[in-house]
Structures are given as C-alpha cells and as structure tokens.
Amino acid sequence: AVGETGLDYYYDFSDRGRQQALFRRHLQLCGAVGRPVVVHIRDAFDDAFAAVADVGLPAGGVVHCFTGGQAELERALALGFDISLSGIATFKTAKDLRAAIPHIPLDRLHIETDAPYLAPVPHRGKRCEPAMVVDTARGVAALRGEDPAALAAATRANTVRLFGLPAS
C-alpha cells in the first residue's frame, strides 16, 4: 500500500496547495505501482475527494479513521474507497459518524486503532493500544446490529482482499 497519505486541514501547519499537490502525486504513484492507498482526511473531504475523482483510484484504497457522516460516506464509496473505523466510532459525540456506520457495506468495512490516539470507549482518554481494536469492533457491531465475531471475520477478509495479504 501507499500511505498513509492525504489532506489534513485541522491544524493548518502545511500549505494546502502543497498538500494537495503531494497527495495527487501519491495517488498517481498508486496507479503506477498497482497498490491501494491509505488515505487520511481531516477537515478536507471536498478537496480529497476532488483529487481522487481527478486522478483515480485504480488499485482501491481505504479512508483511514473515517470521521464523516452519510454524505461523505456515499462520496467515498462512490469513488471506490473502503471505510476504516477507529475508536471515534464509539464516541457518543460522533453522532453523524455513528448514524452512517450501519450504511457501510460489510464488504467495504475495516476496523482499526489509531494508536496511540483515539482509544475507544470504555478506554477513552487513555493511551490507545492495538488490543483495544476489540472494543471498537464491539461498538461498531452493536451500531450495526451484527455479531462481533461475524464482523471481525468480515473485516479480516476485507483487509486480506484490499492489501493482497495471504488468507491464512
């Protein structure tokens, strides 16, 4: 995979035009080497999606730590992205995200940590550890009305598919 790459306008530490140019080059690299892209988008959905619409996503990709609502979800899926959810999915304050989660197709869903950040409930405010992905998966399964074990199996299969990993 190429990435994590993308656009982050939250802190505004980097020139937006430069971020956009470099992001487009990373997307072009993905096409040239036939690898998926792992995309970070923070306060920049419109510009990130415009770049992908322009350059393309020939080998697929995933929006890491997705924070959008239904509109952003629909746009990401239409562009060919898979969606990865972090501990934010368990935060009661993430209302738009939580409302969109049941609409993510199961075959396009991934679960992650953003360790050491964004620990899921019931660990919120603590240092996030990789083992806490189980709590995120449980929270996502509850929002979707799915069995956590079935969700875990599906997201594992999605990761194997997207990144071309061995199935065993």
> How does pLDDT run across 102-127, given as a tens digit for each residue?
999 999 999 999 999 999 999 999 99
Q: For residue 95, what pLDDT is reported?
A: 99
Q: For residue 168, what pLDDT is reported?
A: 81
Among residues 68, 64, 3, 48, which one has the least CA distance to residue 29? 3
Handedness of CA 38, 119, 73, 51 (dihedral sign): negative
Q: For residue 100, what pLDDT is reported?
A: 99
Q: For residue 12, what pLDDT is reported?
A: 83
Q: Cα(first)–Cα(last) distance of the chain, in Å?
A: 19
Q: Domain 62-168 sits in which CATH superfamily? A: Metal-dependent hydrolases (3.20.20.140)
> How does pLDDT run across 135-157, given as a tens digit for each residue?
999 999 999 999 999 999 999 99
Q: For residue 158, what pLDDT is reported?
A: 98
Confidence of residue 85 (pLDDT cuts 50, 70, 90): very high
Q: Which residues of 85-106 are buried (b: 16+ CB within 10 A; e: fewer)?
A: bbbbbbbeebeebbebbeebee
Sorted by where each begins, the domain ranges of the chain are 1-59, 62-168
> With 90 as the cut, is the pLDDT of residue 61 above it?
yes
Amino acid at 16: R
Helices (H), 10-147: 16-33, 45-55, 70-78, 95-100, 133-144
> How does pLDDT run across 1-54, given as a tens digit for each residue?
999 999 999 988 899 999 999 999 999 999 999 999 999 999 999 999 999 999
What's the rounded Cα separation, in Å, for the pair 164 and 62?
A: 13
